Structure 1
Amino acid sequence: MTIRYTFGGDEFIFVEISESMSLDAFFKGMAITRALAERNVRGVTEICPANASYQIRFDPDVITPEQMLSTLQELEAEVTGNALTLNTRIIEVPVLYGDPWTHETMMRFRERHQDPESTDIEYAARINQFASVEAFIDAHSGSPWFVSMVGFVAGLPFMFQMVEREKQIEVPKYLRPRTDTPKLTVGHGGCFGCIYSVRGAGGYQMFGVTPAPIFEPAQRLPYLRDFMVLFRPGDIVKFKPITREQYDQAVVDVDAGIFDLRIRPIAFSLAQFLEGPEAYNSRLMEVLNAN
C-alpha cells in the first residue's frame, strides 16, 4: 500500500495509509503511532490514530515540518505489516439484543429508515442473508471486533469485525440521522460497529444495549478507575448476549458501583490471524474465558 502524507498548516501532518479500511492498514497505522509515542520525539504534542489513517500535531518551533515528515517516513520503513504484534486487551461486553429502549426509539424514526416495516436488526439480518435474527445475533456476537478508533463523542468506539472480508456484516446507516439514540446503544453503520457512550443524535442501525458504562467521568466502576474512557485503539471486543434479567441485575450492580467487566491482556499477531481467522479467534476466546 502507498502511504500519502498531507500537511495541515504548519502544525499537522495527516497520513492516509489506505483509502479503504482493512486490518493491514489499521495495524500499520497503530504500529507507526505507537512507535512514535515510544520514541518520545520532542515537539510532538498529539498523536491521533484512526481507522486507516492517523494525524500528528507538532510544535514547528521545536521540530520543523520537514523533520516531522522524515521521522514518520523512517517509522513507515521500519514497520512490516503482517509481522506486527500488538500488545492489547480483549474485553467482554454484555449486550441485550432487541431491547425495548432502542425499539421504542427506532419506532419514532421509521420514516428515516430504508425498511420502515421491519426493525433495524431484522433489516440487518435480511440484507446480510441470515436465515433469522437469531442467526444474525450469533454472527454479530460470535466473532471479536477490533477498536480501530475512539471519538466523535467522548469514549465512542468504532469497531471492525475480525472475520474474512466476505463474512463481515455490512449495513447502511439510516437515510437521515435520528435526533435521539439511547445511551449505550450497540449500533452499526457500513462495516463499523459502535457503542453510543452518551444519549444523542445518531444514524447507525440499533441492535441492542449494553449495561456497561464506557464513559464515566466519576470513575466509580472498577474497570474505569484508571481512566474515565474504557476503550483504546487496538482493544479487542467480544459481545456476549444476555437476558433481560441479567441486564437488570447488571444495572443494579452499576448503580451500586460493583459492576465489572472481564478484561484480559493479550498479544495479537496479525500474521497468525490472517493464516486462519476462525482458529485464531477461538484461541482469543480461550484467553478471555481463562480463570
Structure 2
Amino acid sequence: MHQQPIRYTFGGDEHLFAEVSESMSLPAFFRSLGMVKAIEKENISGILDICLANASFQVRFNPDEILPNDLLAIVKSLESSSLQEGQLDTRIVEIPVLYNDPWTYETLMRFRDRHQDPDSTDMEYAARINGHADTEAFIKAHSGSPWFVSMVGFVSGLPFMFQMVDQEHQIEVPKYLSPRTDTPKQTLGHGGCFGCIYSVRGAGGYQMFGVTPAPIYDPEQALSYLKESMVFFRAGDIVKFKPINRDEYDQMLIEVEKGLFTLKTQPFVFDLATYLANPDQYKKDMMEVLYVD
C-alpha cells in the first residue's frame, strides 16, 4: 500500500508536529502509532512527551537539549523502521447508552438558537441528514457497528471515536453553529465523523444523542475499572454501544453510587490486514468475543 509522505512542522520552540494523513483512517492511525512507538524506543534525550492523535502525532522537546533540526532528522530516519505490522493488543468495551435521554434533551432545547435546525432535536437532525427514516433507525445505525478510539484528550479522559464502517455509511454531522456553554457529564456526542463521550460537564459543540451511566474519568477512582487509571479509555480501544432503557439506566446509576458498577470488556488483538480484507466478518467476530463468558 502506497503511503503518502509525513508532513512535519514546528510549533513554537518546543513542538514538532507530524501529519501522517489529512483524513482519519485505520491505516493512518496505525502508522502514527508505529511512529510513536519507534520514537519512544529510541529514548531520545531531550524529548519530554509524545502525543498520539487521530492521524498525526506531536513531540514536545527541550531545545536546550536537542536542536529542532536534529530531532527532525532523527524522527524522519525512523519512518522506514517504525512498527508497521498492523497489530495492536487492545480490548473491546461495551458502553451502555440511554439514547434520547431527558438531560441532553433539556440542554439542547436551551441552545436551539445555536443549532442548524432549531425545530428538531440533535438526533432528529442527524437522522435526517444521514438518510435515516427516523431516530430509531439512526440509533440502530449508531449502535450497530463498533467504534475505534483513535485518541483521548481535549479534556481529561474524553475519547474520540471513529465508526468502523465504510465511508458511504459513515455518520457525519456538523458541530453546533456556536458552542454550548453546558453539556451533561457522560453525554454521547458527535461532530464531523467523530463520536465522543464527554467525560465531565462543561462547554461543547458536538451534537448530543444520549448519555451513559458509566463514569469514564474519576480522580477518586472509586470504581474497580478505574483503579489502574483515573482515565478509562486508551487509544486503540474498540467500543460497542448498547442501547438501554430508563429503568436499566437508573439501576446502573445505583450500582455506580454503591461502587459496584463495572464495564463489560474483553482483551483483543486487533489485526489491521485481516480487518481490511473482510471488515464485516471481522466486526462480527469481534462482537462475538465481547460476549464470550
1:7 maps to which of 7, 10, 19: 10
CA contact (8 A) 1:30 1:234 kept: no
| Partner residue, 1:263 | 265
Q: Is the 8 A contact 1:101 1:182 kept in 2?
A: yes
Task: Give 1:193's aligned amino acid.
Answer: G
Are the counterparts in 1 of residues 38 and 81 from structure 2 also a CA contact under 8 Å?
no
Give the CA RMSD over aligned residues.
1.5
* Equivalent position of 1:63 in the other structure: 66
Partner of 1:36: 39
Matched-pair identity in %: 63
Where in structure 2 are there 5+ consecutive unaligned residues? none
Residues paired across the two proteins, number? 290
Distance 1:139 1:204 in 2: 18
1:66-77 to 2 correspondences below 5 Å: 66-77=69-80
Q: Partner letter of residue 68 of structure 1?
A: L
Aligned pairs (5 A) from 1:206-245: 206-245=208-247
Q: Distance in 2 between matches of 1:58 and 1:80?
A: 22
Note closer, same or farther for the CA distance 1:90–1:71 as it changes in structure 2 (3 Å cut).
farther
C-alpha displacement at 1:115, in angstroms? 1.3
| Aligned mates of 2:208, 2:183 — CA distance in 1 | 8
For residue 76 of structure 1, give the secondary structure of its aligned residue in structure 2.
coil
SS in 2 for 1:78: coil
Distance 1:254 1:37 in 2: 37
Task: Kindly report which structure 2 residues correspond to 1:1-291, keeping only aligned pairs within 5 A, or say none.
Answer: 1-79=4-82, 83-291=85-293
User: What letter corresponds to residue 51 of structure 1 in structure 2?
Assistant: N
Alpha-carbon distance change, 89 to 71 in structure 1, aligned in 2, over 3 angstroms: farther
Range with bigger deviation, 69-78 or 254-263:
69-78
1:25 positional shift: 1.4
SS at match of 2:202: coil
In structure 2, relative to structure 1, the CA distance for the partners of 1:50 and 1:252 (3 Å cut) is: same
Q: Which moved more, 1:22-31 or 1:185-194?
A: 22-31
Q: Deviations over 1:68-117 (max 9, x none)?
A: 22332232212476x41111121111100000000111111112111111
User: Which one-letter code corresponds to 1:194 in the other structure?
Assistant: C
Contact 2:275 2:282 in 1 (8 A): yes
Q: Deviations over 1:127-163 (max 9, x none)?
A: 1001221111111111111111111111111111111
1:15: how far off? 0.4
Deviations 1:40-95 (A, max 9, x none): 333321010111111001233443333322332232212476x4111112111110
The answer to whether the 8 Å contact 2:38/2:83 transfers is no
What is the alpha-carbon distance in structure 1 between the residues aligned to residue 6 and residue 102 of structure 2? 45
TM-score normalised to structure 2 length:
0.95
Q: Which runs of 5+ in 1 are unaligned?
A: none
C-alpha distance in 1 between matches for 2:78 and 2:261: 41
**In structure 2, what is the Cα distance between the partners aligned to 1:209 and 1:10?**
41
For 2:152, the aligned partner's letter is V
Q: What do the CA deviations read for 1:6-30 (whole angstroms, capped 9, x no partner)?
A: 1234432110111222222112111
